[in-house]
Amino acid sequence: MTANASALFRASFGVAPMAAASAPGRVNLIGEHTDYNGGPVLPVAVAARTTVAIGPAEPGVLEAISTRDRSAVRIDLREDRPAGWTAYLVGVMRALGGDGGARVAVASDVPPGAGLASSAALTVAAAKAASLLDNARLTGRQLASVAFRAEHDHVGVHCGIMDHMSAALARPGRALLLECASLATSYIPLRGRFLLVDTGVRRDLAAGALNRRRAECEAAVARLKLELPELLWLASWPAGWLPRLKRALPEPLRSRALHVVGETARTRFGAQLLARGRLKRFGELLFESHESCRRLYDCSTPELDLVVAAARRAGALGARLTGAGWGGSVLMLVDRRREARIVAAVRRAFARAFGREPPVGVVNASGGVRREPVR
Ligand code: GLA
C-alpha cells in the first residue's frame, strides 16, 4: 500500500512525496454505541490499512488523488466544502489549523462502509502525514483528536472517539480497552480465533442514522438528569437502577438507554473475560450484544441477523454485528477445530437467503498509525 501511495503520488504530481504514513481499520469486539455515551469499547486494529503520501503545495490548496478515484481534485481550503472522501482530508487540514497547502495520494485496502472504520484510517493517516510535512511531533492521542475533530466537526458525522483512538493507539496482537469518558486505555492480549463476515450491505453514516441515535441518547440524558442531576453520560447511569430508568423514559429513548447501560456492563465484564482467556463466556456476551443492538438500538439488518443466527446454529462461540450497524460486517468467534464447518454453514445460509456468498476473513490484530518509508 505504501508503494502504491508513493507511486500514485509520483505519477500524478511528477515529484516524489516528502513523507508517508499509514493507519489501520478496526473491528470492535464489543461495546457498540457506547463511545459517544461515555462508556467502554474494545476495538482491535485489522491488517487492512490506509496509506497517505504527502508533499507540499501552494498555501491554502489541497490537491488529492486516491487509488479508488483516479482523478486528482484541487480544493481551495479556505472556500470549498467538498463532499465524499476529500471532505475528510479537508477536515484534517482545517483541524490542524496551519495555512500551508498539501498534495496527497491515498491508497487503501480498508473497504468503505464495511463497518471497519475506513474514515478513521484515512483521517488518522492523513493527520500523521500532514504533521510530518510540517515537522510537527504529535502524539497518538493528539492525532486521534485531530482526526476526530475532522470527522465530527468538519464532516458532520456525530461519531465517537473509538475509531480514531484505535487507528492511532492500537498494538499488534492486542485489543484496546478504551474508557471513552476518561480516555483511559489498557491493552488485552487477543486470544481466540475471530473471523469477519462482510454482508456487502453498505451504508453512509453521514446520511444520518448515527446522528439520529446520538440525538436520542442526548435526549435520554436530558430527561434522566431530572432523576440524577450529576449525570453527564448515559453510560454512567447505575446498572442497578433500571426500573427507575424505564419509568423516566418514553420509547424509543428507553430502549436506546437500556442498550447503552447494558452494553457498558457487558463490555467491562467482557474485557475481564478476554484477559482471563474465558472465551466461551466472552462469546455468549457477543451474542447478547448483537441481540441488544438488534432489539433495543435498532441498528441491525436482516443480513446481519441471518449471519449471526447461522453462526450460532453452526456452533460459533459468539457472533455480533461490529461497528455502527445498518449494514457492514459480522464478527464471529470460533473454535479453530470447527472453523471450516461454521464458515461453510454461514456461507450456505447466506447464499440461500440472498443469492450470493459473503466474503469471510480472519482478524489479525495489527498496530496503529506509523510513519512509512517513501519509495
Ligand atoms: C461508528 C462510529 C463510532 C461508534 C460506532 C458504534 O463506527 O464512528 O464512533 O460510535 O459507530 O459503536
Q: How far is the CA of 3 from the centre of ligand 1 (A)?
A: 30
**Mutate which of 163, 214, 266, 331 for ligand 1 pocket (most atoms within 8 A of beta carbon):** 163
Strands 101-108 and 61-66 come out as: parallel
Query: For the CA atoms of the chain, what is the radius of gyration?
Result: 21
Q: How far is the CA of 36 from the centre of ligand 1 (A)?
A: 8
Grid cell 482478524 in the structure block, residue: 363
33 lines ligand 1 (CB under 6 A): yes
Residues 6+ apart with CB under 8 A from 166: 24, 26, 43, 44, 45, 117, 120, 176, 178, 368
Q: How far is the CA of 31 from the centre of ligand 1 (A)?
A: 10
Q: How far is the CA of 160 from the centre of ligand 1 (A)?
A: 6
326 lines ligand 1 (CB under 6 A): no
162 lines ligand 1 (CB under 6 A): yes
**Mutate which of 26, 27, 33 for ligand 1 pocket (most atoms within 8 A of beta carbon):** 33
Q: How far is the CA of 60 from the centre of ligand 1 (A)?
A: 31
263 lines ligand 1 (CB under 6 A): no
- Residue whose CA is closest, atom 9 of ligand 1? 160
pLDDT of residue 2: 65
256 lines ligand 1 (CB under 6 A): no
- Closest atom of ligand 1 to 36 CA is 10
347 lines ligand 1 (CB under 6 A): no
Give the 3-state DSSP-derived string for the chain, with helices as H, strands as E and coil as C. Answer: CHHHHHHHHHHHHCCCCCEEEEEEEEEECCCCCCHHHCCEECEEEEEEEEEEEEEEECCCEEEEEECCCCCCEEEECCCCCCCCHHHHHHHHHHHHCCCCEEEEEEEECCCCCCCCCHHHHHHHHHHHHHHHHCCCCCCHHHHHHHHHHHHHHHHCCCCCCHHHHHHHHCCCCEEEEEECCCCEEEEEECCCEEEEEECCCCCCHHHCHHHHHHHHHHHHHHHHCCCCCCCCCHHHCCHHHHHHHHHHCCCCHHHHHHHHHHHHHHHHHHHHHHHCCCHHHHHHHHHHHHHHHHHCCCCCCHHHHHHHHHHHHCCCCEEEEECCCCCCEEEEEECHHHHHHHHHHHHHHHHHHHCCCCCEEECCCCCCCEEECCC
Q: Record the pTM.
A: 0.96
Strands 43-57 and 101-108 come out as: antiparallel
Q: How far is the CA of 210 from the centre of ligand 1 (A)?
A: 8
pLDDT of residue 207: 58
pLDDT of residue 81: 86
- Closest by Cα among 288, 326, 362, 372 to 49: 372
Annotation marks residue 198 as catalytic: no
Cell numbers standing for residue 296: 433495543
pLDDT per residue of the chain (375 residues) written in tens, 0 to 9: 667 999 999 999 999 999 999 999 999 999 999 999 999 999 999 999 999 999 999 999 999 999 988 788 999 998 888 888 999 999 999 999 878 899 999 999 999 888 899 999 999 999 999 999 999 999 999 999 999 999 999 998 889 999 999 999 999 999 999 999 999 999 999 999 999 999 999 876 545 889 999 999 999 999 999 999 999 999 999 999 999 999 999 999 999 999 999 999 999 999 999 999 999 999 999 999 999 999 999 999 999 999 999 999 999 999 999 999 999 999 999 999 999 999 999 999 999 999 999 999 999 999 999 999 997
Cell numbers standing for residue 1: 500500500
- Residue whose CA is closest, atom 1 of ligand 1? 324
141 C-beta neighbours (distance < 10 Å), count:
15
Task: Decide: 253 and 216 in contact? Cβ < 8 Å.
Answer: yes
Pick the catalytic residue: 76, 80, 99, 163?
163
160 lines ligand 1 (CB under 6 A): yes
pLDDT of residue 206: 47
